[in-house]
C-alpha cells in the first residue's frame, strides 16, 4: 500500500540495496535451538563466495564458543534457506544456489538440544 504522505506517490530511498555494500551482500545465519547466541547473526559476504566459506569460516567464527559446536555431525545437519528446506552445495557460490541479499540460512542439529537440553 502507498504511504499516506503530503507528496503524491511517495517513494522512499532503499537504504539497504545490495549496491550499497561494496560488493558484498548480507547473509543471516541462525543455529536453531541454540539461544546462547541471542539472535541470528549477520555477515557481509560476496555473492560469489563458495558455500565452503560459510561452512569453514563464518559459522565456526560465529558459533564455535558453544560446547556442542564440536559435536555437530555436518552430514546430519538440516538446512533451511528463507524457510524452505535446502541442500547446500559446498563448492558452488552463494549466488549460484539462490542465496541472495538478506537471505536467512538456518541450520538445525537434531540430537544436540542446547545447554542441558534447554535450547540455549
Residue 24 as a binder of another protein (CB under 8 A): the answer is yes
At 30, give phi and psi (nearest 5°).
-130, 140
**Strands in the chain per DSSP E:** 25-31, 41-45, 78-81, 84-86, 103-108
Q: Which of 23, 57, 61, 78 binds another protein (CB under 8 A)?
A: 61
Cβ contact 26:16 at 8 Å:
yes
Residue 30 as a binder of another protein (CB under 8 A): the answer is yes
At 88, list the grid cell: 547446500
- Residues 55 and 77: their CA atoms lie apart, in Å, by 12
Q: Which of 54, 62, 72, 99 binds another protein (CB under 8 A)?
A: 62
| Residue bearing cell 549466488 | 95
Please state the separation of Cα 55 from the chain's center in Å.
Answer: 11
Least Å distance between CB 1 and another protein? 5
Residue 32 as a binder of another protein (CB under 8 A): the answer is yes
The site that binds another protein (CB under 8 A) totals a number of residues, namely: 52
Instruction: Please report, as residue ranges, which positions from 78 to 107 form the binding site for another protein (by CB under 8 A).
Output: 82-83, 100-104, 106
The binding site for another protein (CB under 8 A) comprises 1-6, 10-17, 20-22, 24, 26, 28, 30, 32-33, 35-44, 61-62, 65, 67, 82-83, 100-104, 106, 114-120
Amino acid at each position: 500500500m502507498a504511504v499516506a504522505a503530503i507528496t503524491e506517490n511517495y517513494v522512499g530511498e532503499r537504504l539497504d540495496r545490495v549496491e550499497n555494500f561494496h560488493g558484498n551482500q548480507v547473509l543471516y545465519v541462525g543455529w536453531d535451538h541454540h539461544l546462547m547466541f541471542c539472535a541470528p547473526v549477520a555477515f557481509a559476504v560476496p555473492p560469489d563466495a563458495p558455500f565452503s566459506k560459510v561452512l569453514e569460516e563464518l559459522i565456526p567464527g560465529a558459533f564455535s564458543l558453544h560446547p556442542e559446536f564440536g559435536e555437530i555431525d555436518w552430514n546430519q545437519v538440516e538446512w533451511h534457506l528463507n524457510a524452505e528446506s535446502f541442500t547446500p552445495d559446498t563448492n558452488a557460490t552463494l549466488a549460484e544456489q539462490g542465496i541472495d541479499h538478506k537471505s536467512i540460512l538456518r541450520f538445525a542439529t537434531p540430537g544436540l538440544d542446547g545447554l542441558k537440553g534447554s535450547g540455549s
